[in-house]
Amino acid sequence: MDYATSVAPHRFHGLKAPSTVDYVLLSTVLLLVGFGLVMVYSTTGIVSQEKMGEALFYAKRQTLSAIIGLGLMALCMRVPMDLLRRVSPYLFILSIFLLALPLIPGIADRAGGASRWVKLGPIRFQPAEFVKVSMVIFMAGFFARHEARITTFAHGIIMPFGLVGMAAALLLLQPDFGSSAVIIVVVLCMALASGVRFLHLGLCSVVVAAILGTLVAISPYRMMRIVSFLSPFSDVAGKGYQLIQSLIAVGTGQVWGVGLGESQQKLFFLPAAHTDFIFAVISEELGFVGGLCVIFAFLVVMWRGLLLAKQVRNDSFLYGLAVGLTMMIVAPALLNVGVVIGLLPTKGMVLPLVGYGGSSLMACFAVVGLLLGVKREAEHSGIASA
């Protein structure tokens, strides 16, 4: 055998090329992103023409983020899972460092009364979006390392959720209630999948609910959000305005919608129409059918992700990682839809893969790349099971 031929497959052992790709997952994600680009333009075209002097302003920025995200996904597909396993203990330190950046004067970039962004020269990003990914990898490693003692209250609840609480506390200082809620929900799912006792999780959930309730009670801003959520029409021009406009958009769409590009609520009526409330515009323009298709696409992502988790259940790290990464996309999507249709209080959370937000989109692409990497690793090592 020719020497060059014999060593070629091993030349780039550090970054392994994927053997078999989950094309259902990949195509669903790409369809969501492509659809999102169309909806971002539909939602912002007139508004950005008025504000920025260019109808494609937001659409072009989101497209650039998608291109960068595709490259990031391709890279993450090739990252060896053993490398992630080894570095996972250190990702908590990285997460805390990233969450502290928006609180540092000089690089923090405040917007809308919150300090969630960091600006370094021409680069502006939201660290919390990438921290969600690093925390999932860290927690997958934690649950795998403590697998033998995961049923104890100390190792199943106190230690992991104490660490998660530290990250959530930094998020609340920004303040970013939505991201902290997402991380807590995702870690709860990972803990349940990893074998933490259901009774312990129930007790933990009660404590977390009590803490969140206290945080709401002592914060006039959050309390007003709860009040406006429970009774939006009591303050039509104030705190209830955004939810009312969202409900008007959803109701106007009825079954088939008013037509792509024909939304009226996006024309300076519905705040954050291209980010947190883009699902309301989708429902208005494409109706109940369009909104249902979007929800169905996210359920497909959940199906493929959890199916992958089932296939790697013999490897506790890969299993926890697959569950966490899957829920990192699905959980905020379902929470976002719940906010838009009035089932949950407003949290300031973008619809993954669809809504406008460069950091969110790139982080989601990284998540998908890592999921595809888990599949590649499972097939390469032969641990995948039916």
Rounded mean pLDDT, 257-269: 90
Determine the Cα–Cα distance for residues 197 and 157; give it in Å rounded to an integer.
Answer: 9
* Of 184, 178, 175, 89, nearest in space to 137 by CA: 89
Within-domain flag for 154: yes
Q: Is pLDDT larger for residue 23 or for residue 268?
A: 23
Angle of helix 316-340 relative to helix 127-145, nearest 10 degrees, comes to 140
Percentage of the chain with pLDDT > 90? 56
Residue 222 identity: R
Angle of helix 316-340 relative to helix 358-381, nearest 10 degrees, comes to 150
Looking at residue 386, its pLDDT comes to 55
Q: Which residues contact 220 (CB under 8 A, 6 or more apart)?
A: none
Within-domain flag for 238: yes
Q: What is the pLDDT of residues 101-157, one digit of tens each?
A: 988 887 877 776 677 888 887 788 899 999 999 999 999 999 999 988 988 988 888
Q: Which residues contact 266 (CB under 8 A, 6 or more apart)?
A: 42, 43, 44, 46, 47, 249, 273, 274, 281, 284
Residue 252 has pLDDT above 80, yes or no: yes
Residue 261 identity: G
* Of 142, 133, 140, nearest in space to 317 by CA: 140
Q: Please, what is the end-to-end C-alpha distance for the chain in angstroms?
A: 35
**Residue 246 dihedral angles phi and psi, to the nearest 5°:** -65, -45
Within-domain flag for 237: yes
Looking at residue 2, its pLDDT comes to 43
Structure tokens at 188: 């709860």
Number of domains in the chain: 1
Residue 359 has pLDDT above 90, yes or no: yes
Q: Is pLDDT larger for residue 266 or for residue 354?
A: 354
Residue 8 has pLDDT above 70, yes or no: no
Within-domain flag for 139: yes
Percentage of the chain with pLDDT > 70? 91
Contact yes or no for 43/263 (Cβ under 8 A): yes
Within-domain flag for 14: no
Within-domain flag for 286: yes
Q: What is the pLDDT of residues 305-352, one digit of tens each?
A: 999 999 999 999 999 999 999 999 999 999 999 999 988 887 778 999
Within-domain flag for 221: yes
Residue 13 has pLDDT above 50, yes or no: no
Q: Which domain holds residue 375?
A: 20-380
Within-domain flag for 3: no
* Of 231, 227, 271, nearest in space to 249 by CA: 271
Single pTM value for the model:
0.89
Structure tokens at 216: 């709401």
